[in-house]
Amino acid sequence: MRSRRGESGQALVVALTVVLLLAAAFGLVAGFLVSRMNLARDETRRTVLQALSDAAVAESVANLAASSVYPGLEERAFGGGTISSEVSHPAADLAVVRAEASYEGRRLVVDVRVKLSDEALPNTIGWRRVPPAEAARGGSFKPPG
């Protein structure tokens, strides 16, 4: 069938426009899905890091219950990452547990203040996330003065 004068190529232009619009829509959807996957992966890393640091704290506090002179946990592999802790004693009835967790190149350091007693189990009285700059220079949780 012959095209009418002035209409030649219009079907091709319309088809190319539709293809371009579909490609743009698919590109937007793909970009959205990639960003959501990155957010989910980051949230998973944060959750695993928190769980690993909690495990290091729990193990350290359990060992403090058995011995108030417990020095801390040597770095070791655990749950797909690594955990370690260090225990200091700013007062006779107070211990500070600095727990560190690493997972997929990320690091989380927390300080936990623990009240020690001969009559009762250790009691956690303070917890905080240590900022990276402070963790690098080795600062620790100071008891209230």
What whole-number percentage of the chain has pLDDT above 90? 70
Per-residue pLDDT of 63-88, as tens digits, reads 999 988 899 999 999 999 999 999 99
Q: Given this model, what pLDDT does residue 136 score?
A: 77
pTM: 0.73
Backbone angles phi, psi at 36, to 5 degrees: -65, -40
CATH number of 10-137: 3.30.1300.30
Q: Please compute the mean of the pLDDT values over residues 9-37 and round it to a whole number.
A: 93
Per-residue pLDDT of 80-124, as tens digits, reads 999 999 999 999 899 999 999 999 999 999 999 999 988 888 889
What whole-number percentage of the chain has pLDDT above 70? 88
> Taking the domains of the chain in order of start, what are their residue ranges?
10-137
For residues 9-36, b (16+ Cβ closer than 10 Å) or e, as one string? eeeeeeeeeeeeeeeeeeeeeeeeeeee
Strand partners, 114: 95, 124
Tokens of 133: 């700059």
